[in-house]
Amino acid sequence: MTTSLSATWMESRSLKVEKINIPDPGEDEVQIKVGSSGICGSDLHYIRGDKPVTVGSIPGHEIGGFVNAVGKNVKHLREGDLVGVEPVVRCGICRFCKTGAYQVCGDRGLVGETYNGGMSEYVNAPGYTAFKAPSGFDSELAALAEPLSCSVYGLERVNLRHHETVLIVGAGTVGLGALIAVKAMGAHAVIIARHPKQQEMARQLGAHEVVGDDEAGREQLAELVKGHAFDVAIETVGGHGDTLNQSLKSVRLLGRVLVLGVFMVDKVQIDPLLLLDREMVGAVLYGNMTGKANYQMALDILKDHGKAARSLVTHRYGLQDIQEAFATAMDKSKQSIKVHLKIN
């Protein structure tokens, strides 16, 4: 048993930091001393009331830290290893799991949602979710592999090819992470960014063109599409926006739209004519459908693009300041992109 300072959900949809007991890891688990835990946009949905909270549970699925203890059946890690956590918990025996598509396992869970997460000094997780970080990483960089994995999986689904043109709709963490992945794969990237900080960051990350989310930006985008419609559009906003139609209108015939954003509405209206000879693909989480886990691919990208990825972390807070950290993540006037909790 390990005593841990942890953030837990209350009925008021706020978080309190308290000491709790973390059990010793099971035979197939590892216990991680968390160094850094990122606040994801999906975490903010709980605060806003879009998703129900489980009182007493610990959020946080973007996790980097050091192995504190290892269950006897975990052979690929040892105490002291720096790891990132691919938080998808699965059955391992269904037809999806057997083909590496465990992101759609019918019994899928998630560390930080259905299992206690990383906004805690210590967290237990299934051994298979912990990936040893490459040499030169720290906890913060390891934690950034999780959001980047979403883009890596999505680009695998749409079979992005070298030198294709890509429109990225949205410049939050997912959108800017997609920009890093698109650039790493040798494609040409244009990104729509609303806030000045996002626009500045997109330019620093090497976007070929940055389009504002205003009337001038819409005119600029129309000219780009008129000249040469995009091969791929990546929708990263979700929420309550009308970004799917915008994405579909921006791709060429036989082009592809990748949906990474999480929509918080029951129905989204789409012009059916836009689906003629265009492909729309949704990507949830990540898996291992090609013999190499998308999470491992993300770690490999971070080996070469770690400085760029680390620049996404605009704010850092201690665990005791978690309320302020969430407030900063929700308030874009504070120019936040990725907010991290620095825990150990």
Residue 180 lies in a domain: yes
Separation between Cα atoms, residue 78 and residue 67, nearest integer Å:
7
What pLDDT shows up at residue 332?
80
Residues 152 and 259 in one domain: yes
Can you give the pLDDT at residue 240? 59
Instruction: Annotate 228-294 with DSSP letters as a single string.
Output: --EEEEEE---BT--HHHHHHHHEEEEEEEEE-S-B-SS-----GGGGTT-EEEE--S---SSSS-H
102: containing domain: 2-144+312-342
Residue 74 lies in a domain: yes
Q: In terms of domains, do 16 and 133 share one? A: yes
The pTM score is 0.92
* Judgement on whether residues 139 and 162 belong to the same structural domain of the protein: no
Provide long-range contacts, Cβ within 8 A and 24+ apart, for 327-330. Answer: 329/39, 329/43, 329/44, 330/44, 330/47, 330/48
Domain boundary among the residues 282, 298, 321 is at 282
Do 113 and 165 sit in the same domain of this protein? Answer: no
* Residue pair 202/210 in contact by the 8 Å Cβ criterion: yes
Q: Are residues 118 and 14 in the same domain?
A: yes
- Judge if 137 and 178 occupy the same domain: no
- DSSP H/E element including 84: strand 82-85
Q: Is 34 within 8 Å of 343 (Cβ atoms)? A: yes
Q: What is the CA radius of gyration of the chain?
A: 20
**The CATH number of the domain where 189 resides is what?**
3.40.50.720
Place of tokens 């960014």: 193
Question: 296: helix, coil or strand?
Answer: helix
Nearest Cα to Cα of residue 62 among 41, 45, 87: 87
User: 114: domain CATH number?
Assistant: 3.90.180.10
What is the pLDDT at residue 122? 98
What is the count of structural domains for the chain? 2
In the chain, which stretches have pLDDT less than 70?
Answer: 239-241, 264
Q: How far apart are CA 273 and CA 110, in angstroms?
A: 37
| Helix (H/G/I), strand (E/B), else coil: 108 | coil
43-79 burial, b for 16+ CB within 10 Å, e for fewer?
beebbeeeeebeeebbbbbbbbbbbbbbbeebeebee
User: In this structure, are 12 and 118 located in the same domain?
Assistant: yes
Instruction: Tokens for 129, please give them.
Output: 């979710």
Q: Are 181 and 258 part of one and the same domain?
A: yes
230: in domain = yes
Last residue within a domain, chosen from 282, 303, 324: 282
Residue 201 gets the label, from left (phi > 0), alpha (psi -120 to 50) or beta, of alpha
Q: Is position 160 within any domain?
A: yes
**Do 162 and 206 share a domain, yes or no?**
yes
| Distance from C-alpha of 250 to C-alpha of 167, rounded to nearest angstrom | 8
